[in-house]
Each structure stands twice: as structure tokens, then as C-alpha cells.
Structure 1
Amino acid sequence: MRNFSKITLSVLLIASAALTSCSKDDDPEPVKASIYARLGGTTMVADPDNSGQMIEQGRLSFRKVVNSAIGLIVADITNNASGNLKAHFAPLLAETGSTQTTSIAKLSDNLTDFFSFNTGGTNAVNAYSGLSMAAAHNPAINARMGAKSTDADYTKFEGYVGAAANANGVASNTELYADIVVVLESLRSTIVQM
């Protein structure tokens, strides 16, 4: 009986020592879901812009913010001749008729693809096949870019994205919005070329 007690006591001491040596610092941080997943991810929902079609909720969330941001930029450019983003979008806005509508839709699709893919959207529908960010924002390479960006231009663009995120309920989740701002800021040095 005494041997059994010693053995039990020894096992308890070893187990206790092993458990106390594993502190919370040794536990890995829980993995945060991707931005795309937190925007709804791959859950399929009805596409409000295409009757009878389905779209991933994450992609739809990005498309809403992108379209709203484009709308804010175009409204500012057309209503404010001195807007510092006008020069950037002038070639696109100079296109006429259905070409302009198609070009703006293509810009929206490219931006939606870019943000969806680079924030965790892994579905082939989210694959970005456009120019690199440096090439896309360099008028010498991309004829649809009217001017190189300055820090002030990029800050103004981020403001439009923030207003669009707010209008679409994304900014109400402050942690998610902060993560989106981190992504935008990570692009600044590539996009700002002046």
C-alpha cells in the first residue's frame, strides 16, 4: 500500500510539474481569421447586382466598398476641378459612352479581385491578374493612369475608402477596419511614386 501511495504521489508531482511548466506564453496565439473571412468569406449569398446569381459574401463586401469609393472619387473629381485625384483618373473619365462604363466596371472588378485575393479570398473567382501595383500606378506603363501619386493623393484616396467602408458598415467593426487600413498602408510605398 505504501508503494502504491509513493507511486501515485510521484506521478502527481511529475504531472503537476509538467503542467506548471507549460505557461500561457507557450500556448500559440489563436489564429485570427482573414479579413476576407471576417467580411463574410466564402458564404454564398444572392448577388444584388446580378439577379439570379450568387456571390461570396466576402467578395460582395469588398465590391460594395470599392464601388462606393469609386463613386466618391468620381463625384469629387467632377464637382471639384481642383481635386488632387482628378489628374489620376482623367484618362479613364475621358473615355466616353459605354466604354467609360465598361472601364469603370473593369476598375471595380480589378480592385475587388486585388483586395479579395490579398486578404484571404482563395477562390479562383478572386484571382487578381492585373498589373503590379507599381506598374498600375505609373503613367509611363499604364496609359489609364493620368499622374503619379503623392502621399497627399494616397491619403485622400484612403479617406474615400474609409468613407465607403463606413457607408457599407465595414468601419463599424473597428478591429476589422484597422486591419484593412494596415493593408492599405502596406501599399503606400509602392503606389506613391513622387
Structure 2
Amino acid sequence: MNLKRSAAVAAIIALGAIPILTSSCHKDHNNPPATMTFYDTLGGTATVNDPAHPGTMIEKGRLGLRTVVDSAIFIIAGDKEINGYFTVLLSEVGQGNLSGFQALSKNLTDFLCVATGAKDFSYTGKNMTDAHNPAANSRISMKVAADDFDQFVVDVAASAKKNGLTDAMIARVGALLNSLKTTVVQQ
């Protein structure tokens, strides 16, 4: 594994493993504070105008995650180390067909919404093993290698940073993605 990539992935995982503890000087044991989900820290269920669909409202947490996902897809598309996994998608986009991009964006955004604690969404895509196996999913070009998965995490972290997530939030996204590594990596 590339030493720079290895250090970046280790930093993302280490930061994600650090628990964020909050406490108060006065504890009310009858009314404990509500526990915020990661989705809540990303904006939660407050609704805002959806810039991609004028006149439509979207949960702020979902908009933030979708923005990171869409940006990450573009970063990955330009990353020669891993864009070979997405030849079908890149070919479609090159021909002006955005349906595959939109489906990937929706599935990955749904997945991250659910994984971060959103209650109003569900993930209906393939399980992680099938989604990353060309025998079960013709949209992926080859089975995923460990180094390439690590580069994917680095690219998503770069997207999250570009879109204003804090280092602690980026670490949590990285830890969440790394929790899937054993089901995604198949070679």
C-alpha cells in the first residue's frame, strides 16, 4: 500500500474511533438529553430548498450527504487509480446519459443517510457484497482490491473536506466506510 495513502487511512480511522463525549455540570436524571445521531450533526431533518430541484424541500442532513457523494463521484471519476471500476458509468456520462450517475448518487446517499441515523430514508440497493461483485452487478468492472478501497475512502474524505465537513465528521465518515471493507473487498 502506498505509504501516504496508508497514513491518510490510518488517520481517518483513528479520528473516527475517538468518542466525542459531552457532559453537563448539572445532570437531570429524569430528563436525559436526547442523543444526537451523526445525521443530526450533519444537519438532520430541518428542511431547506433543494438546489438541484427548485421548488422542492430536502432534509439538510440528506442534502449535505448528497453533496459529498456527488463531489466524491467526480473526484473518483478523475482518479486514475480507481476509476477503472466505473467504466460503465464513465462511458454513460461521456455520452450525456446521467441516469447511472443519478442512481449511484441516490443509492449511496440513501445508504449514508441510513448509516448515519436518518429515520426518513431506507436503502434499497444491493447488499455490499453483490454491489461490488461484477458477477452480481454489471455496473462494476472488477472485484475491489484493498488498496483501491483505501483510495476510495481517501477520495470521499477529500470530498467531505471540500464540502466543509469538520475533521471529526470526516473521520466518522471514514470509520463508517472502513466498517464495510471486509464485505466490499473481494480480491
Give yes or no for TM over 0.5.
yes
Structure 1: distance between partners of 2:84 and 2:160: 24
Alignment partner of 1:104 out of 101, 106, 111: 101
Summarize deviations over 1:70-100 as a string: whole Å, max 9, x none: 0111123xxxxxx2313210122233634x3
Please name the residue that 1:119 is paired with. Answer: 116
After superposition, where does 1:123-142 map in structure 2 within 5 Å? 123=120, 126-142=121-137
Among the aligned pairs, what percent are the same residue? 40
Matched letter for residue 145 of structure 2: T
Structure 2: distance between partners of 1:150 and 1:141: 17
Please name the residue that 1:86 is paired with. Answer: 83
The gaps in structure 2 that reach 5 residues or longer are 1-28
1:147 matches 2:145: no
TM-score, normalization by structure 2: 0.78
Please name the residue that 1:3 is paired with. Answer: none
Please name the residue that 2:66 is paired with. Answer: 63
The gaps in structure 1 that reach 5 residues or longer are 1-26, 77-82
SS at match of 1:66: helix
Equivalent residues of 1:35, 1:180 under 8 A apart: no
Matched letter for residue 184 of structure 2: I
Q: Between Structure 1 and Structure 2, how many residues are aligned? A: 156
Structure 2: distance between partners of 1:50 and 1:91: 26
Summarize deviations over 1:166-194 as a string: whole Å, max 9, x none: 01101x2x332222221111011110111
Structure 2: distance between partners of 1:161 and 1:184: 9
Detail structure 1 runs of 4+ shifted over 6 Å in the superposition.
Answer: none
Matched letter for residue 86 of structure 1: N
Please name the residue that 1:7 is paired with. Answer: none
Which structure has more relative contact order (CA 8 Å, sep 6+)? It is 2
Q: Which has the higher helix share?
A: 1
SS at match of 2:51: coil
Matched letter for residue 97 of structure 1: Q
